[in-house]
Amino acid sequence: MAIFSWEAKDGVAVVTLDTPGAPVNVISRAVTEEMYELLAVLERDASVKAVAFFSGKPDNFIAGADIEEFVRLKSTADAEQLARDGQALLDRVATFTKPIVAGIHGACLGGGLEFALACGYRVASDHPKTQLGLPEIQLGILPAAGGCQRLPRLIGARAALDMILAGKSERAAKAFRLGIVDELVPPSILQDIAIAAARRLAQGVFRRRRRGGFLGLLLDGNPLGRLLVFRLARRQVLAQTKGNYPAPLAALEAVRHGLSHGMREGLRREAQLFGHLALSDVSRKLVQIFFATRELKKDLGVPGAPPPAEVQRLAVVGSGFMGAGIAGTTVVQAGIDVRLKDADLARVAKGLAAARDIVNERLTRRRITKFEHARLVALLSGSDQYTGFGKAELVIEAVFEELAVKQQVLRECEAVLPASAVFASNTSTIPIARIAEAARRAEQVIGMHFFSPVARMPLLEVIPAAATAPQTVSTAVGFGRRLGKTVIVVRDAPGFWVNRILAPYMNEAAQLLLSGVRADEIDRAMVQFGFPVGPITLLDEVGIDVAQHACEVLQAAFGERLTPPAALAALVKDGRLGRKAGKGFYTYSGGRKGSVDSAIYPLLGVQPNGGIPSAEIVQRLTYAMLNEAARALAEGVVRSPRDGDIGAIYGFGFPPFRGGPLRYLDDLGADRVFAELQRLSERLGPRFTPSEAVVDHARSRARFYP
Ligand code: 3HC
């Protein structure tokens, strides 16, 4: 056996799963086959009274079924059979003649948790790396190796649905509270405790905690309560997915069916639903995103670039919202020293407080202990001078968006930084090459464009200028990754990637408003299409003044097609800057968004007339973006369709189930997009003129993805 090994310890078979050469353990066909063999051996061996099961990987228990195998599935029947095979294996585990204990340290996800659920007892290490969950929904499938059956039976339908439908993993302590884990122990004694539990079970000593609490008893314990749970969950799923994602509803059905008709029937339904979902277009798209994100994790941004320089201390200039966000996120994610500098101490203090809030939030959400909190807060320091910069390997400036100011900061930094340090600008509108004109070491200047709020937004654009050295790129990319960001390397062109393709979309939203479409109608249409928020809400979030400035920069670079409608200026003049000003397109009170402020219509000089159907709203907005995305890709703004799509999904929430703008363009067909753009340009003006890239793709029937 190559994947499993075992030794006997006083009647307990201590089994280790360690797939050779693989970074994580997954349940593949090979693992399945070996597990059957192993169980047969352990069953036959009379000296084995119980089994304790561990992973040989340092920080991973089992990461689930092998996702690579899903991609190769050719038919729903094959997919259903794959699920049936997984269920049969775990049935063998669940009905094994000797007790099996899972000793869990590290990620225990999907099929990994389903395996643990099939074991008789679970001991988990109380360690941040130990996460338990059923993330299948995020891949457009459902837990199909019995997860939709065993979890609700163990912790109740309500708690199980919370986990399954969100696809979110939980820390070991929470899993313990929920009753998924029977014992929670420090990592150092995991083995001993799990083996002791196995021995106890072999002697027939069995102890299970009561779980679920009063509410759980009330809701899960009777059919009426359960009906209520399912009705509420269904309503919530539909509100969240707008019917765009079939997997959560399917999971709901698998759980419901199993609880009403018994385990065996439930398993059958679960496998059947998996068969359909695994082959669905939505699942294929979500799995592609999983693979694309994983490829990006290994990509240093420049072929053959030297490895990133080590960064032990970050310096941040500018302690506003972005600077503080970068500082706080760095401390929380990378756990290194951060020095924050601004022009005066009052601002520095405000920035430090905002950075500390990010650390505090981790404590409130119980992601860190009080001790870790104190340690992380101590890593933050500030000054109105450049003291402490002499030890920084990387500085990120987030000062006022003006070339002269940024160049001045660059000069001052170069005077105090070590000669090898990298200078990064968080500009969103100024070319990096222009900033670097002031540099003595232009090869160490780069753009790192974070999105707001930094702690929550998953994307980072890294922008090398022509003179930037490969190692400067890999250092910025590597550092971004340490902050937990998905990083795309983009060309030093106006708007970079995200703002470039957002601009025509936002502009078109403004055009629609000016033609009498109600603001909330535009938002509703795009949320239904799959965006997390509509473009008008997004304008309020970003700041109408900020968006207007970004659009002006793009207009200066690209001319008429990216001209923002002048009417936006009327809103800015009225002090309607969006959420931050407490008034924008929508009303805000106590930080909460209200309804559309009807005062915007007279300001824009229109009367809402409801004349445009939502299908046309969607088409105008998306086609404006697709056209620009194809053009910018052809100009080399992103290195590949993969980077462009990931940028749009993580940068502003382009609907993941559509795979990103370039995949969506492929799905629509370039010839159709070309024809529709032409029709729109005849009716609405040259801003819809098909880009050369769309024309070329339509003519040659080419696709962005093979
Ligand atoms: N199948 C195949 N490969 C997997 C995998 C899986 N389930 N999980 C992780 N990997 C691979 C990654 O692709 C990557 O491969 P690479 O090094 O060749 O690029 C490698 O393992 C390491 O992964 P990460 O770079 O993501 O490592 P991290 O340490 O950052 O994260 C992890 C580890 C938390 C386990 C993360 O990889 C993860 O979330 N994996 C996916 C988990 C998942 O979705 N499981 C459900 C699978 S579906 C299922 O189980 C269906 C069942 O119900 C029938």
Instruction: Kindly report, residue by residue over 480-536, the tens digit of the pLDDT.
Output: 999 999 999 999 999 999 999 999 999 999 999 999 999 999 999 999 999 999 999
Taking residue 21's Cβ as centre, other Cβ atoms within 10 Å add up to: 6
Q: Whose CA is nearest to atom 31 of ligand 1?
A: 107
Q: Tell me the C-alpha distance between 1 and 59, whole Å.
A: 22
Q: Which residues pair with 383 in a beta bridge?
A: 341
pLDDT in tens, 380-394: 999 999 999 999 999
Q: Which atom of ligand 1 is nearest to the CA of 274?
A: 54
- Contact predicate 136/147, CB 8 Å: yes
> 66 CB less than 6 Å from ligand 1?
yes
What's the confidence (pLDDT) of residue 233? 94
- Contact predicate 533/578, CB 8 Å: no
What's the confidence (pLDDT) of residue 14? 98
Out of 286, 294, 295, mutate this one to test ligand 1's pocket (max ligand atoms within 8 Å of CB): namely 294
For β-strands 50-55 and 12-17, DSSP reports them as parallel
CA 110 – ligand 1 centroid, Å:
10
pLDDT in tens, 419-470: 999 999 999 989 999 999 999 999 999 999 999 899 999 999 999 999 999 9
Three-state SS at 399: coil
Q: State the chain's maximal CA–CA distance in angstroms.
A: 87
> 67 CB less than 6 Å from ligand 1?
yes
> Catalytic: 676?
no
Q: Does residue 48 surpass a pLDDT of 90?
A: yes
H or E element that contains 384: none
Q: Tell me the C-alpha distance between 148 and 253, whole Å.
A: 9
Taking each helix axis as running N to C, give the angle between helix 223-241 and helix 213-220, from 0 to 180 degrees, rounded to the nearest 10.
100
What's the confidence (pLDDT) of residue 121? 96
Three-state SS at 486: strand
Instruction: Name the residue among 294, 286, 290 with its Cα closest to residue 487.
Output: 294
Residue with tokens 């001052």: 412
Taking residue 281's Cβ as centre, other Cβ atoms within 10 Å add up to: 13
- Contact predicate 50/199, CB 8 Å: yes
Query: Residue 2: is it exposed, middle or buried by C-beta count within 10 angstroms (0-12/13-18/19+)?
Result: exposed
CA 23 – ligand 1 centroid, Å:
9
Q: Which atom of ligand 1 is nearest to the CA of 82?
A: 54
What's the confidence (pLDDT) of residue 569? 84
> 107 CB less than 6 Å from ligand 1?
yes
280: Cβ–Cβ under 8 A, 6 or more apart, which residues? 140, 246
> 478 CB less than 6 Å from ligand 1?
no
Q: Tell me the C-alpha distance between 257 and 269, whole Å.
A: 7
Instruction: Name the residue among 499, 455, 225, 235 with its Cα closest to residue 326.
Output: 455
Report CA-CA distances (Å) from 289 to 76, 330, 665.
21, 25, 16
Instruction: Name the residue among 360, 323, 342, 308 with its Cα closest to residue 480.
Output: 308
> Of 80, 136, 461, 628, which one is the catalytic site residue?
461
Q: Does residue 85 surpass a pLDDT of 70?
A: yes
> 144 CB less than 6 Å from ligand 1?
yes
Q: Tell me the C-alpha distance between 674 and 681, whole Å.
A: 10
CA 104 – ligand 1 centroid, Å:
16
**Band (227; pLDDT cuts 50, 70, 90):** confident
What's the confidence (pLDDT) of residue 218? 59
H or E element that contains 226: helix 223-241
Instruction: Compute the radius of gyration of the chain from its Cα atoms.
Output: 28
- Contact predicate 209/176, CB 8 Å: no
Q: Which atom of ligand 1 is nearest to the CA of 112?
A: 50
pLDDT in tens, 165-182: 999 899 999 999 999 999
What's the confidence (pLDDT) of residue 221? 64
> 37 CB less than 6 Å from ligand 1?
no
> 139 CB less than 6 Å from ligand 1?
yes
What are φ and ψ of residue 27, in 5° steps?
A: -90, 95
Q: Which residues pair with 450 in a beta bridge?
A: 460
Overall size of the chain counted in residues: 706
Taking residue 97's Cβ as centre, other Cβ atoms within 10 Å add up to: 7
CA 659 – ligand 1 centroid, Å:
19
Mean pLDDT of 225-246: 92
The pair of three-digit structure tokens given for residue 473, joined into one six-digit string: 């790129």
Of the spans 240-244, 282-286, 363-367, which averages the highest pLDDT? Answer: 282-286
Q: Which atom of ligand 1 is nearest to the CA of 142?
A: 53
The pair of three-digit structure tokens given for residue 354, joined into one six-digit string: 């905002």
> 26 CB less than 6 Å from ligand 1?
yes
Q: Which atom of ligand 1 is nearest to the CA of 139?
A: 44
